[in-house]
Amino acid sequence: MTTTNGGNGPTTLTIARRYNGPSDSGNGGYVCGAFAVAAGEALRVRLLAPPPLDRPLAVAPGERDGGYVLRDGERPVASAVPSQLQLEVPAAPPYVQAVWASQHYAGFKTHTFPDCFVCGPHRRRGDGLRIFPGMLDSGIVAAPWLPADDLDGGDGKVAVEFHWAALDCPGYFALVEDRPRMMLLGEMQAHVDRRVHVGEACTVIGWAIGVDGRKHYSGTAIFDEDGELCARAKATWVEVEKKVSSV
């Protein structure tokens, strides 16, 4: 993420190509987190269009009081309103169970976006986050996560936008279980209680909350190596018709 502020001009945000979800647009969770960081407050973010890569996007006040809009020229990419997250989180599974679940990750067989920065199996270690959530008997998905050094926010802890990214894809896999299908992130709201350290053996979980037609709702959370809750998110996913690809 690159942000600039041109004096009295708007703040701009650039999503580097590395942080893609689909091959030609940004990972939804990362974009939502970068937007919230650029705005400087807790937001509920709604994605309105595929976020373009390697192009400055303007962060500006929205039409609603206190809101924001992320624009690619005149085209709105996302909108956001200040909001505090309220979400009950299940207990963390033992780390060894998260490791076991990850070995049964459905995305190893078929994946909508196999090059996704967060959950794409084509991404190398040190390139993508490589969070591969698999289903547990409890009905939640879980995965281990060992944040790489280049996610450092400058103080030995993972930057906020990467927490949002890590909280994205596990929610999708909690909804589809072992039958991957095309769903896109529509809205996301996250709260980082305490940033995890780089190199820390974390656990990420996801669980289904509900469904309303083509809209599916999920929760996600990150726990540190002591099993303490560090970050959580709630997301809305929208189902669309498109085939997944074999890995």
Other CB atoms within 10 Å distance of the CB of residue 189: 25
Q: Average pLDDT for residues 173-201, to the nearest whole number?
A: 91
Lowest mean pLDDT across 69-73, 84-88, 194-198, 237-241: 237-241
pLDDT at position 3: 60
Residues 6+ apart with CB under 8 A from 196: 147, 157, 158, 163, 202, 222, 224, 230, 231
Q: Average pLDDT for residues 189-194, to the nearest whole number?
A: 97
Residues of the chain with CATH 3.10.129.10: 2-82, 95-246
Three-state SS for 64? coil
The predicted model scores a pTM of 0.93
| Residue 189 and residue 85 in contact, taking contact as beta carbons nearer than 8 Å | yes
Q: Which helix (H) or strand (E) holds 233?
A: strand 229-239
Lowest mean pLDDT across 60-64, 76-80, 89-93, 170-174: 60-64
Using the predicted structure, report yes or no on whether residue 246 has a pLDDT greater than 50.
Answer: no
Report the residue count for the chain.
247
Of 3.40.50.12140, 1.10.645.10, 1.10.10.10, 3.10.129.10, which CATH number belongs to 2-82?
3.10.129.10
CATH number of 95-246: 3.10.129.10
More confident residue, 91 or 1: 91
Using the predicted structure, report yes or no on whether residue 180 has a pLDDT greater than 90.
Answer: no
Mean pLDDT estimate for the chain: 92
% of the chain residues with pLDDT over 70: 91
Three-state SS for 205? strand
